[in-house]
Amino acid sequence: MVGSTARAGARSLVVAGGGIPGLALALALKQAHGAALTVTICDPGLKAGNARQRGRAYAVAAGGRHLFERLGIWERIAGARQPITDMVVSDSRLADPIRPVFLTFSQEGAAHDAGAKGAGEPAPFAHMVEAEPLVEALIAAAGAAGIVLEPTGIRRAEPERGAIRAILDDGRVLRASLVVAADGARSRLREAARIGWVGWRYPQSGIVATIAHERDHGGRAYEHFLPGGPFAMLPLAPGGALGHRASIVWTEREADVPALLGGGEAEVLAEVERRFTPNLGRIALEAGPSAHPLAFGIARSFRAERLALLGDAAHVIHPLAGQGLNLALTSAAALAEAVTEALRLGMDPGGPEVLRAYERARRFDTLAMAAATDGLNRLFSNDVLPVRLARDFGLGLVDRMPGLKRFFIDEAAGLRGPQPRLMRGEAL
């Protein structure tokens, strides 16, 4: 059975993967081009809707906020986002009675955000956004915009003259100008295109949970660097059984995870409390915990013939800086811009010039961020005394230099260097 994503001669795009980056890319292009571009998203996970994201949350930097504002998503998730107004960084051993603070960040750096509402007013440099309502809003907006949502996967993609054939798991075939592989770190489409992958497993797991607590967090995030890995407490929007909530992102040695999570809820909460130092009153588990193996990986190329890699299919980084989603959203915005420029010039949106432009725009930035997160994890996930002394001195030095601190804030917020139009809050 052979189908078509569009009538003869129409431009068409197929996205493999219904995660946040793939949905954002599809929605941006459909909103910009309407009936001139047919867009299809294929993902068996669409059957479960947004439920597969339950309990997860992401730190969305200023650039990602601009993109979601431009797509009309930001207001839809007003009740599911919490501004991060400041952040406290400490470095210690688990048994230390005092966790000295070496570095603090506040929203002072957000005054550099040209897209912030209110001239001269400081704005949060990031928001914590719950994944489930975000995906729900993106899926609803995609359907309303006329994007075709196919709850089935893509088995492989085969270039042909002037097009590419996407063979679905149910046997149907869609013909498109371009296929975007946003189908995860184990991307079938990347492997079928024989694009190489450089990566390794960390001897760590990432533990994710949502904690309810009695006292207001005030929008403050905490990151404790411990020998087993960083432990982050990230503020969520109010709610839950105790009135306030936080997302826990907890990195531990992989070998220790079964013992830490193998007991009941009381035992898990006891381990959390050993690391959860803010005085926020009584705490309780609201969701999780769940453990996920951590890895580093990057594709040797972000493109093949009429195929572009996006999100985890192109790169996987350590979560300690919370930059994985922001990196993927920037890539989605860059690809949307490259495709749009081609369409407006009457060019082929899946042609090699478009894909080369996309790779040029994203390759260096992705490599730099991947190397930075890998280096930070190696630097902080150890207990060697000379290394601890050197890194604590470095953290304290940054804390005493407002200009350098502002540089790091702007870099994390995606406000430095050239950015795609959508990440600046501009239309395609």
What CATH number does residue 411 fall under?
A: 3.50.50.60
Rounded Cα gap, residues 230 and 391, in angstroms? 14
133-168 pLDDT tens trace: 999 999 999 999 999 999 999 999 999 999 999 999
Structurally, the chain folds into a number of domains equal to 1
For residues 114 and 65, is the Cβ–Cβ distance under 8 A? no
* Residue 377 pLDDT > 50: yes
pLDDT value at residue 22: 97
pLDDT value at residue 99: 75
Residue with more model confidence, 97 or 273:
273
For residues 201 and 294, is the Cβ–Cβ distance under 8 A? yes
Q: What is the rounded average pLDDT of the residues 388-412? A: 62
Rounded Cα gap, residues 122 and 117, in angstroms? 9
* Residue 4 pLDDT > 50: no
Average pLDDT over all residues of the chain: 87
CA nearest neighbour of 202 among 423, 415, 382: 382
* Residue 8 pLDDT > 60: no
Rounded Cα gap, residues 288 and 15, in angstroms? 30
Confidence label for 389 from pLDDT (cuts 50, 70 and 90):
low
pLDDT value at residue 119: 44
> Is residue 63, in this structure, part of any structural domain at all?
yes
Q: Compute the 3-state secondary structure of the chain and give helix, strand, coil in percent, each to the nearest 5.
A: 40, 30, 30
> Is residue 114, in this structure, part of any structural domain at all?
yes
Pairing between β-strand 154-160 and β-strand 163-168 as defined by DSSP bridges: antiparallel
> Is residue 110, in this structure, part of any structural domain at all?
yes
> Is residue 221, in this structure, part of any structural domain at all?
no
Percentage of residues in the chain with pLDDT exceeding 90? Answer: 64
159-212 pLDDT tens trace: 999 999 999 999 999 999 999 999 999 999 999 999 999 999 999 999 999 999
For residues 128 and 61, is the Cβ–Cβ distance under 8 A? no
For residue 294, the 8-state DSSP code is E
Cis, peptide link before residue 289, omega less than 30° from 0:
yes
Pairing between β-strand 307-309 and β-strand 178-181 as defined by DSSP bridges: parallel
Rounded Cα gap, residues 72 and 66, in angstroms? 10
| Amino acid residing at 226 | L
> Is residue 232, in this structure, part of any structural domain at all?
no
Residue with more model confidence, 50 or 314:
314
For residues 180 and 37, is the Cβ–Cβ distance under 8 A? no
> Is residue 327, in this structure, part of any structural domain at all?
yes
Rounded Cα gap, residues 377 and 355, in angstroms? 32
pLDDT value at residue 380: 72
> Is residue 405, in this structure, part of any structural domain at all?
yes
Among 70-79, 218-227, 354-363, 390-399, whose mean pLDDT is lowest?
Answer: 390-399
Instruction: Supply the range of the domain harboring residue 417.
Output: 11-199+296-424
What is the H or E stretch that residue 23 is in? Answer: helix 20-33
pLDDT value at residue 9: 35
76-127 pLDDT tens trace: 999 999 999 888 888 888 777 777 777 777 765 444 554 555 444 557 878 9
CA 238: distance to chain centroid?
A: 22
Strand partners, 175: 165
> Is residue 227, in this structure, part of any structural domain at all?
no
